[in-house]
Amino acid sequence: MKQMKNILLKIFVLAIFVFAMNYIYEKWFYEKGLQEYSDIINLVRKVQNNSDIIYIAESSNYSTRANDTDKRAISEFISEYYPNKRLGTIHKGALHAGNYKILLEQIPEDSDVETIIVTLNMRSFDAAWIYSNLETALQKSMVLLKPYPALFNRFLLSFKGYDVKTDKEREVQFKRKWEKDKLIIPQGLEYKNVIEWDKTMAREGIKNIDGTINYKTTALACHYIKTYAFQIDINNNPRIKDFDAIVKLAEKRNWNLVFNLMAENLEKAEELVGDNLVYLINENRKLLIERYTNMGVLVVDNVDNISDNQFTDQHWTTEHYAENGRKIIARNVADSLKGIYPTEYFKVKDTLQMASCEFFHDCENKSAWKQMNTITKEQAYSGEKSSKTGQGDNYSITFEWPIVFIPDSMLKTIEINLKILQKEINHDVMLVIDASGYKIENFLHEVPVSELSDGNNTWENINYKYNLPEEIKKGSLLKVYIYNPTKSIVYIDDLKIKFYPN
């Protein structure tokens, strides 16, 4: 009995010890620890009490391109559509659903938050991201935010009570996963797994015109394979568990939940690797949309909404978009939010560069058309310069524009107006309208310039109208240029392109 009393007394003293320590830590040291190791909490605190909508994301939200005129984040563009709703943003590079969940749990139950928009990044389901070398640091930054007593959280931090692994160990993990996972494609895949696919691509390579391997492009293709060649296993993929947990949290908190499925560079995937990779991406896309729509989440599908030229990182796979890309995603999210806030939606003036359906280049300024290397001072209709073709320079200055930026209603007729100077009639010189994209076969409409001009060695005006076929809407990129494979020189100037309804 006495021994029992003794033990109970010691347990009691120990309990007091623990409570006292927790009290002291929480009162005087916890906040300092948060600021030192988990300062992301400040973003949550900033928005938790003054937001109706919270947008939570990784770097896709705020990454910009140097020449963007409007460098605002996706979330800021969205907020324009709902001026009466307060939209708060929580974002930090490399965050993923596992982190989002912990951050969202920090929002007090009595906050004003009504809707949460969560970035659903398909790439985050891939082994390379799940076992990324950034994971240890990310996990560490979340430990103090876990829903346990403050001292226990600090104990976990001190005794490495989170996923600590070296870069080498992480590499072993994702390589093992790549090796283990079988890729199932209806028409069958000739590679056993990602490793084999990647190795074959690296060995065979993407060839230059002269037949040599283009190592830079091959490396990028290999990277696309390693990034996107996976099929989400809903039973074992940790991201599925994380997103599911977010759904449950939203249900518990009575939040409207929106998953913003980010755009991937399908054009590059298709161009570098081919249909099989695009198939896998689309399968994962379908799975995510179906799964979370069935769970009552509003899923915004942006996967193929952004064309290649709007991806800021051309030599890596990221979800970093240039201004128009961010605006398109924001518009899609805003449109989807109409279902939640039908009366709050405010039609924002379309500030996408596509709002203009007239384009002009006088060969004088440096606005970014393609084939600017053909600009010369030898001849000019206006100003001092024109674009010179022939004798090896086959392509003139080229109008190149993402089709998604041109409203469907305008994508009916194209009118091309240009000035041309040619010494002789040449039937091989063509005016070309070219549309490409992974959803359509290459579309080419060619008109011999000889049908449009006399070629009498003076500047002539060419005006050409063409009714664009319906299928062109499936394309990604539209190009207009003069194609001159001959030895005779042709100059063009003051190129004007206009789209309008029939």
Give the footprint of another protein on this chain (CB under 8 A).
17, 21, 24-25, 29, 33, 37, 136, 140, 151, 154-161, 164, 168
C-alpha 220, offset from chain centre: 16
Q: How far is the CB of 176 from another protein (least distance, A)?
A: 13
Residue 103 contacts residue 91 (beta carbons within 8 Å): no
Residue among 472, 461, 482, 465 nearest 398 (CA): 482
Residue 431 half-sphere exposure toward CB, CA atoms < 13 A = 23
User: With respect to another protein, which residue has the nearer C-beta, 158 or 236?
Assistant: 158
Tell me which H or E stretch contains 90. Answer: strand 87-91
Residue 87 contacts residue 55 (beta carbons within 8 Å): yes
Q: How far is the CB of 33 from another protein (least distance, A)?
A: 8
User: With respect to another protein, which residue has the nearer C-beta, 9 or 355?
Assistant: 9
Sign of CA dihedral 266, 271, 273, 276: positive
Sign of CA dihedral 453, 459, 460, 462: positive
Q: How far is the CB of 31 from another protein (least distance, A)?
A: 12
Burial 117-133 (b: 16+ CB within 10 A, else e): bbbbbbbbbbbbbbbbe
User: With respect to another protein, which residue has the nearer C-beta, 163 or 408?
Assistant: 163
User: With respect to another protein, which residue has the nearer C-beta, 167 or 446?
Assistant: 167
Strands 413-422 and 490-500: antiparallel
Q: How far is the CB of 188 from another protein (least distance, A)?
A: 36
Sign of CA dihedral 8, 10, 14, 17: positive
Q: How far is the CB of 159 from another protein (least distance, A)?
A: 5
Residue 59 contacts residue 119 (beta carbons within 8 Å): no
**Whole-number Å distance between alpha carbons of 332 and 181:** 34
Q: How far is the CB of 20 from another protein (least distance, A)?
A: 8
User: With respect to another protein, which residue has the nearer C-beta, 16 or 184?
Assistant: 16
Residue 36: strand, helix, or coil: helix
β-bridge partners, 258: 117, 298
Residue recorded with tokens 């691509």: 201
Strands lying side by side in the sheet with 115-120: 87-91, 53-57, 115-120, 256-261, 298-301
Q: How far is the CB of 250 from another protein (least distance, A)?
A: 31
Residue among 416, 415, 446 nearest 430 (CA): 446
Q: How far is the CB of 126 from another protein (least distance, A)?
A: 25
User: With respect to another protein, which residue has the nearer C-beta, 113 or 157?
Assistant: 157
User: With respect to another protein, which residue has the nearer C-beta, 157 or 403?
Assistant: 157
User: With respect to another protein, which residue has the nearer C-beta, 147 or 186?
Assistant: 147
User: With respect to another protein, which residue has the nearer C-beta, 24 or 184?
Assistant: 24
Question: Side chain identity at 281, as an amino acid letter?
Answer: I
Q: How far is the CB of 138 from another protein (least distance, A)?
A: 14
Q: How far is the CB of 166 from another protein (least distance, A)?
A: 8
Q: How far is the CB of 11 from another protein (least distance, A)?
A: 15
Residue among 495, 432, 500 nearest 467 (CA): 500
**Whole-number Å distance between alpha carbons of 283 and 288:** 9
C-alpha to C-alpha distances, 321 to 66, 73, 88, 308, nearest whole angstrom: 11, 10, 20, 10
Strands 358-361 and 375-376: unpaired
Beta-strand runs (E) in 379-475 = 386-389, 399-402, 413-422, 430-436, 443-448, 460-467
Q: How far is the CB of 153 from another protein (least distance, A)?
A: 10
User: With respect to another protein, which residue has the nearer C-beta, 137 or 355?
Assistant: 137
User: With respect to another protein, which residue has the nearer C-beta, 160 or 176?
Assistant: 160
User: Cβ-count burial of 17 within 10 angstroms (0-12 exposed, 13-18 middle, 19+ buried)?
Assistant: exposed
User: With respect to another protein, which residue has the nearer C-beta, 18 or 368?
Assistant: 18
User: With respect to another protein, which residue has the nearer C-beta, 46 or 160?
Assistant: 160
Q: How far is the CB of 173 from another protein (least distance, A)?
A: 14
